[in-house]
Amino acid sequence: MKTICGWCGRAMAETAEVGPDPEAVTHGICAECAAFFENNRGVGIREFIGQLGAPVLILDKDIRVEAMNLAAGAYVDLRLPEIEGLLVGDVMECAHARLPGGCGNAGVCVMGCALRRIVMETFATGKSAEGVEARQEIMTGQGLREMRFWFSTALADGRVLLRIDRAEVVEGG
């Protein structure tokens, strides 16, 4: 099994694990990226995510957006001052964030929000997640659409870096 850094893509290790797929790849965070996150507080992390081509948001323990890179800004069509401090469901325009109680407090959020679950698991365990699929109902310029997202996370400096790996409209959604 190969292990690669989920942030810079660098190969980290290869083990002789025997499993259903000997060519499988798993993800972690390499020593260089981990050291960068550890040694560079606040602005350093922002500079790092600014270099990434994929949309990345920095979330605090309340799942509020502290920062994002330009790719994320283009993705959500907003600038940081407009979203700083907002809950990630509000930023992503999740339809459930508009329910009573708002993002994270609606029944569907507590019971079944995959995005919330992977972010909270990353905070709780410190383990990165890679390519986790989540379905969300999103308010778009064309109205309410069911979307499939793939997210990855990493814990850095007491925050979670949330990368949006892919998104697509669900057919008929």
Which domains does the chain possess?
Answer: 2-169 (3.30.450.20)
Q: Is the distance from CB of 150 to CB of 166 less than 8 angstroms?
A: yes
Given this model, what pLDDT does residue 113 score? 85
User: Which parts of the chain have pLDDT scores under 70?
Assistant: 1, 13-28, 34-44, 78, 110-111, 172-173
SS3 annotation, 61-81: CCCEEEEECHHHHHHHCCCHH
Looking up tokens 């990493």, which residue turns up?
A: 154
Given this model, what pLDDT does residue 59 score? 93
Segments in 98-148 forming alpha helices (H): 107-112, 114-125
Q: Is the distance from CB of 170 to CB of 147 less than 8 angstroms?
A: yes
Q: What is the pLDDT of residues 109-157, one digit of tens each?
A: 766 788 888 999 999 998 888 889 988 888 777 788 888 889 999 888 7
Given this model, what pLDDT does residue 55 score? 87
Given this model, what pLDDT does residue 64 score? 93
Pairwise CA distance, residues 14 & 137, whole Å: 39
> pTM of the predicted model, to two decimals?
0.72
Q: Is the distance from CB of 5 to CB of 12 less than 8 angstroms?
A: yes
Torsion region of 9: left, alpha or beta (phi above 0 gives left; psi -120 to 50 gives alpha): left
Pairwise CA distance, residues 38 & 91, whole Å: 27
